[in-house]
Amino acid sequence: MYRVGVIGCRGIGNRHAQGAASLENAEVVAGCDLVPEQRDEFAAQFKATSPELKMYDDYREMLEKAQLDIVTVATGDNRHADLVVAAAEAGAKGIFCEKPLATSVEDADRMVAAAERHNTLLSVDHTRHWMPVWHRCHELVTEGEIGDVRAVLCEHYGTRSMLFRNGTHLLDAIMWYAGSNPEWLVAELEDGYKDYSEYRGDGGHDPATEPSANAYIHFANGVRGIYLGEKQAPNRLDFTISGTTGNIFIEREGDAYIERDGERELVEPRHWEVDGIAAGVHELVRALDGDGELSCTGRDGLTVVEMMIACLQSQQQNNAKIALPLAR
């Protein structure tokens, strides 16, 4: 039985716990949050099915006392690093960390290094890997249904088009469909952020604390990625994967279509018993059991952090081409 502890118990952290609690071989035995009301609500929800559950207001105490196998981290975007490093050092076998992995390359580096040093599996919650439509579209790409991928376009509009908070999901998805690591990018931040040289956000709450971005990304296999972010346009999230023999379109409403020879068909996703965040937690547990690999590893998350920081660097250097991986 895997002993699971959750750091950050509201909202997304609650969904982490639901994913773990739905498994027969895992039990949520610890939760940590700074806010007393959040601790009380979490305990009320999970105590009946997890009689061992204990609540903490200090993650260090939880890691010391709870003897955890798995730790999930669902704090603010810029608060993940110390928690992940401490969990790995405390002996966690697996960590499920919210996206973005970190908001600086330095933090992401030390998180990945700690996980690798302690043989800890580190999974990053870029949730589209476990969403049936997005997953099925990736299967079609890898099966060659649109030939060789040549370009991936993402249009991400609306007030929550924030580079770190939500752009991380889409940059990860672009890389996933491209099937390669980025070699360089050129980027421009939204107006008013020309001096935004490092993350100055509030953990993902106020859109004004971080910019949207537009980026052109060249991948090692020759695929081109284009990410368009705009806060002052109506909400929209559309994805286009273009190959040598066809295109796949993923729409904000959740439908997807494959287009070949002028004919467009609806993409029918496979049935998943569990999807989204819960499926990501389940995947981590299966990987710990030796059944399969992680869809989005710590190193994948690190690469996405590098892309986001490269966007800031490109803006600072008059929209210059920034080589990836970033120099250390």
CA distance 173 to 44: 36
Percent of the chain with pLDDT over 90: 98
Q: What is the pLDDT of residues 203-219, one digit of tens each?
A: 999 999 999 999 999 99
Residue 11 pLDDT? 94
Residue 211 pLDDT? 98
DSSP-derived 3-state class of residue 6: strand
> In the predicted model, what is the mean pLDDT of the chain?
98
The answer to whether the beta carbons of residues 174 and 311 sit under 8 Å apart is: no
Maximum Cα interatomic distance, the chain, rounded to a whole number of Å:
61
Average of per-residue pLDDT across 67-92: 98
As a residue count, the chain comes to 328
DSSP-derived 3-state class of residue 166: helix
Residue 57 pLDDT? 98
DSSP-derived 3-state class of residue 245: coil
Residue 18 pLDDT? 97
Residue 253 pLDDT? 77
Torsion angle of alpha carbons 155, 159, 163, 168, nearest 10°? -70
Query: Domain spans of the chain?
Result: 2-127+276-297, 129-268+304-323
Residue 60 pLDDT? 98
The answer to whether the beta carbons of residues 99 and 172 sit under 8 Å apart is: yes
Q: How far is CA 101 from the centre of its chain?
A: 7
In the predicted structure, residue 231 carries a pLDDT above the cut 90: yes
Counting beta carbons within 10 angstroms of the beta carbon of residue 119, is it exposed (0 to 12), middle (13 to 18) or buried (19 or more)? exposed
Neighbours of 47 (CB within 10 A): 14
Q: Does domain 2-127+276-297 have CATH number 3.40.50.720?
A: yes
Overall fold of domain 129-268+304-323 = Dihydrodipicolinate Reductase; domain 2 (3.30.360)
Q: What is the pLDDT of residues 81-101, one digit of tens each?
A: 999 999 999 999 999 999 999
Torsion angle of alpha carbons 280, 274, 48, 53, nearest 10°? -10
In the predicted structure, residue 252 carries a pLDDT above the cut 90: no
Average of per-residue pLDDT across 264-291: 97
Q: What is the pLDDT of residues 110-152, one digit of tens each?
A: 999 999 999 999 999 999 999 999 999 999 999 999 999 999 9
Average of per-residue pLDDT across 306-323: 99
Residue 254 pLDDT? 85
In the predicted structure, residue 175 carries a pLDDT above the cut 90: yes
Q: Return the exposure string of 250-264: e unless at least 16 CB atoms fall within 10 Å of the residue's CB, then b.
A: beeeeebebeeeeee
Q: What is the pLDDT confidence band of residue 163, given thresholds at 50, 70 and 90?
A: very high
Residue 165 pLDDT? 98
